[in-house]
Amino acid sequence: MSLQLDFPAVLERWPSFLAGAVLTLELAAFATVLGALLGTLAAVGRGTHNALIAGACKAYVETIRNTPLLVQIFLVYFGLASLGLKFSAFAVAVAALTINVGAYTAEIMRAGFEAIPRGQIEAAEGLALSRLQIYWHIILLPAVEKVYPALTSQFVLLMLASSVCSQISAEELTAVANYIQSDTYRAFETYIIVAVLYVILSLVMRAGFWGLGLVLFPRRRRLGTPL
């Protein structure tokens, strides 16, 4: 057994690694924004008095949370294909990741909604705020503020989970790594570099969300509540 590591041979592919990292961030950004919307809608739906909508939202959340992402990606990939719809692998990856993170977001947002004191809503009704105003100012914004840390760590986990999309040959960091290692026969070095890149990406994302939190929630900053 000989242990010979040759990092320069792999590192000279740095433009590909960089492009892969950017693609991963893009994939995560699309899925995060769309998933946050979908998840918030599902959380609102779960709280409605319409049993049918609430039941459908609950079924969605529980189904997604109790099946592996890999299976979900394959189901979306082959499901769309069997309907005769042709999409790029990247679009399928965005769709599958959105559906996935939407369910987790819904569960987190529901906790946030439940944490809003009933009296706040009654007070807003007393001040004659419209339903929409109440939803936006009294329920949604304070709820997001409360669950912001849980929400953002879920989004970082999503970025890491997007590596699974390499299995349907969507272009992202892990897919790039698979290609480079099969080209250079330097698997260990390649995956070490990719692992380091993922760690950097997750640190960058966390720092970004922290900064965003400072801007979005000045009240929280003034109170000194850690984000």
Partner 1 sequence: MGGHLNINHLMFLGQGALWTIGLSVIALIGGGIVGFIIALARISPLKSVRLASATYVQLVQGTPLLVILFLGYFGLAAIGLKVSPLTAASASLTLYVAAYLGEIWRGCIQSVPKPQWEAAEGLALSRTQRMIKVILPQAIRIATPPTVGFMVQIIKNTSLASVVGFVELMRSGQIVNNSLFEPFAIYAIIAVTYFAMCYPLSLFSQRLERRMGRGRSNLAPA
- Kindly give, in sequence order, each residue whose CB lies less than 8 Å from that of residue 166, ignoring residues fewer than 6 positions away: 172, 174, 175, 177, 178
Number of residues located near partner 1, criterion CB under 8 A = 45
CB of 162 to partner 1, least distance (A): 8
CB of 136 to partner 1, least distance (A): 30
Closer residue to partner 1 in complex, CB, 70/216: 70
C-beta separation of 83 from 152 below 8 A: no
> Would you call 128 exposed, middle or buried from its count of C-beta atoms within 10 A (0-12, 13-18, 19+)?
exposed
> Would you call 153 exposed, middle or buried from its count of C-beta atoms within 10 A (0-12, 13-18, 19+)?
middle
Binding to partner 1 by residue 152, rule CB under 8 A? no
CB of 40 to partner 1, least distance (A): 22
CB of 199 to partner 1, least distance (A): 4
Give the torsion through C-alpha atoms of 116, 118, 122, 123, to 10 deg.
-60
Closer residue to partner 1 in complex, CB, 61/139: 61
Residues near partner 1, by CB under 8 A? 1-5, 62-63, 65-72, 74-75, 78-79, 81-82, 160-164, 166-167, 174, 177-178, 181, 185-188, 191-192, 194-195, 198-199, 201-203
